[in-house]
Amino acid sequence: MQLIWEGLKQALALIFSGDPQIMGITLLSLQISLSGTLISLFLGVPVGVWLALYSFPGRRALVSLVNAGMGLPPVVVGLIVSIFLWRSGPFGLLHIIYTPTAMIIAQAVIASPVVAGLTIAAIQQIDPKFRLQVLGLGASSVQSMLQLLREARLPLLAAVMAGFGAVISEVGAATMVGGNILGQTRVLTTAMVLETSKGDFAAAMALGVILLILVYAVNVALTLIQQRRKPQ
Amino acid sequence: MNGAMITLENVVVVRGKKAVLTVDRLDLRKSETLAVIGPNGSGKSTLLLAMALLLHPARGTITFDGQTVPDSGAPLDLRRRVAVVFQTPLLADTTVQKNVAMGLKFRRMSRDEAVARANKWMERLGVHLLRDRQARTLSGGEAQRVSLARALAIEPDVLLLDEPLASLDAPTRAELLEDLERILRESSITAVFVTHDRNEALALGERIAVLIGGNICQIGTPDEVFNTPANEEVASFVGVETMVPGVVESQFEGLSVVRTSGVDVQVVGDYRPGDQVMVLLRPEDVVLSLREGPPPSSSMRNNLPGVITKLSTAGSQYKVVVDCGFPLVSLITKQSRLDMELAPGTPVRASFKASAAHVIRRTERPQGSGCAPPPEEQQSAAKLH
């Protein structure tokens, strides 16, 4: 209990002191995770809509793959992305291993199946005739998709929250592809692991509190958008 | 006759490996209201989707206002001349006004113009006071009115209605049917109204198409379809309750005698003696009187003695089944039943005019097979655009 209490006190002190190192780590965490989530939306939403609406051979296998991907272990993603980005790997020439870009790629890979899986569920809960109705009112294919996404906006925002939650809290891939380099790729989770391994539990606890506040703040913002309308 | 707005020619729609709709030819005339009736699962909604250019047939040609719809799918400008209303209102999760303006937004109409147009149609459908309400909070009747306003706000060339009243309670249905009838009458819109309710078809349809088993069995004016059904399946669907097989015995000066189960029935028409026929009678054309008295003095050529075997309520009337050698169904008022003290076992006389009996040649077809059962198709499934 003493450690938790010390951690809380230290966290508050760190937050209010405006420690540039902590601020840098926090901002980098936010920047990497929001970028990864954003990319996962661009990848996961269209794939989810496509799998939800169109029938083709192998569709079920693909949906199962997406659903399995929702539980993709970050450390496995980290390993695969590392192999691809490693100096001798297929994308080694890009020299992005141990950079925030590599971490964003890994986080996008982790979040995309989450977003795609929840998009499939969100679109499939809409009456299948709704799309026909929208087309029957003269919508183009793109307009009909956008109308469906608008209808599914509440569960889709839940997908965004789940995707963001999955990446802001992961540590395996961030360590493997980022390398936890101070001032370059150190984020809240990797810093916590480092402080814990050094035995500085209070510092780790302080970083944990900041991480929780960050997660809460982002989710409050998304929830406010999601729950704009009062229940009738 | 007006030109055709939509023509379906040799159209076959296949689902799985089965042809679910086969139309040799169907012309939807400009400015007419065509009612499509048929039992559940007869292909009515499939026909409507094909006419809405939302479903691509495996075979055949669809022509829209003289323009042939390409196999690659209907161009957007053609689809935008049609509006569809389904049985469930399928409103978007937003306000009533935004729902009504939805089709206008798809057409990129300016905001002011769209609001004005939406307001006009909300007013005509009596939902203008609900314009700021969330659509999901509306009652069934209100929601369907909004759905109709949304389709009409587009001011389409063709309005396709897929059983829009089926999920409403009786008073709401009657009210909306009346409004719909008025709107269709006042506008020059071409409309197709799909229903399984004969009364709705009679109220709205200038022509009626009967769809059974994926085939159009008959198309004609309400009078033609209801009084001279093309076959037994149509007859059964349009409310002909008495269908008696018989053989033509003789014919003389436009009057034929048909022998049915040992009873001779006189019918109007020149049929060849020996023809195998079916005599069809609507229950409202059969008059009952007590057998004790003399036959009523009238022009009715058929006065058949019989005994009541069954008596049941049919809305505000009574349905009476009389055994005259064959079961003959009649409709009588509650007052007539009381006056004549009718009950099962009462001997009565069933009378009907020779002109009331409709005669069709008998066909050897299994029941429920439709008009011309399509063969199993080995083609790809119908594609939805």
Any B CB within 8 A of A195 CB: no
Any B CB within 8 A of A55 CB: no
Min distance B130 CA to chain A CA atoms (Å): 15
C-beta atoms of A137 and B102 within 8 A: yes
Q: How far is residue B245's CA from residue B258's CA, in Å, rounded to a whole number? A: 9
ipTM: 0.80
C-beta atoms of B106 and A143 within 8 A: yes
* Chain B interface, Cβ < 8 Å to A: 49, 52, 54, 76, 79-80, 82-84, 86, 88, 90, 92-93, 102-103, 106-107, 134, 136-137, 150-151, 154, 160, 384-385
Q: Which domains does chain B have, with CATH numbers?
A: 4-234 (3.40.50.300), 241-361 (2.40.50.100)
C-beta atoms of B134 and A232 within 8 A: yes
pLDDT beyond 90 at A216: yes
Categorize the per-residue pLDDT at A229 as very low, low, confident or very high, splitting at 50, 70 and 90: low
Q: How far is residue A149's CA from residue A224's CA, in Å, rounded to a whole number? A: 18
Q: How far is residue A50's CA from residue A44's CA, in Å, rounded to a whole number? A: 10
pLDDT at residue B367, as a whole number: 47
Categorize the per-residue pLDDT at A231 as very low, low, confident or very high, splitting at 50, 70 and 90: low
- Higher per-residue confidence, A8 vs A102: A102
- Higher per-residue confidence, A45 vs A5: A45
Give the burial string for B268-299 (b: 16+ CB within 10 Å, else e).
ebebeeebebbbbbbbebbbbbeeeeeeeeee
- Mean of the per-residue pLDDT values of chain A: 91
C-beta atoms of B106 and A130 within 8 A: no
Residues in chain A within 8 Å Cβ distance of B92: 147, 150-151
CA distances to B38, B195, B199, B364, B376 from B213, rounded to whole Å, are 9, 15, 21, 16, 13
What is the mean predicted confidence (pLDDT) over A70-75? 92
Min distance B151 CA to chain A CA atoms (Å): 7
C-beta atoms of B80 and A138 within 8 A: yes
Mean pLDDT per 10-residue interval, chain B, length 385 residues: 85 90 94 92 93 92 93 90 94 95 96 95 92 92 94 95 89 89 89 91 92 92 88 86 91 89 88 90 91 76 92 89 92 91 92 90 57 44 44
Residues in chain A within 8 Å Cβ distance of B86: 129, 132-133, 136
pLDDT at residue B374, as a whole number: 42
Min distance B220 CA to chain A CA atoms (Å): 27
Domain boundaries, given as residue ranges, for chain A: 24-226
pLDDT beyond 50 at A39: yes
Selection from B136, B52, B66, B129 nearest residue B99 by Cα: B136
The 10 Å Cβ neighbour count of residue B90 is 23
Min distance A129 CA to chain B CA atoms (Å): 8
pLDDT in tens, B122-163: 999 999 999 999 998 999 899 999 999 999 999 999 999 999
CA distances to A5, A6, A124, A189, B42 from A202, rounded to whole Å, are 8, 6, 46, 14, 73
Q: Please, what is the angle between helix B111-124 and helix B140-153, to 10°?
A: 130
Q: Say if domain A24-226 classifies as CATH 1.10.3720.10.
A: yes
pLDDT in tens, A158-210: 999 999 999 999 999 999 999 999 989 999 999 999 999 998 887 888 889 88
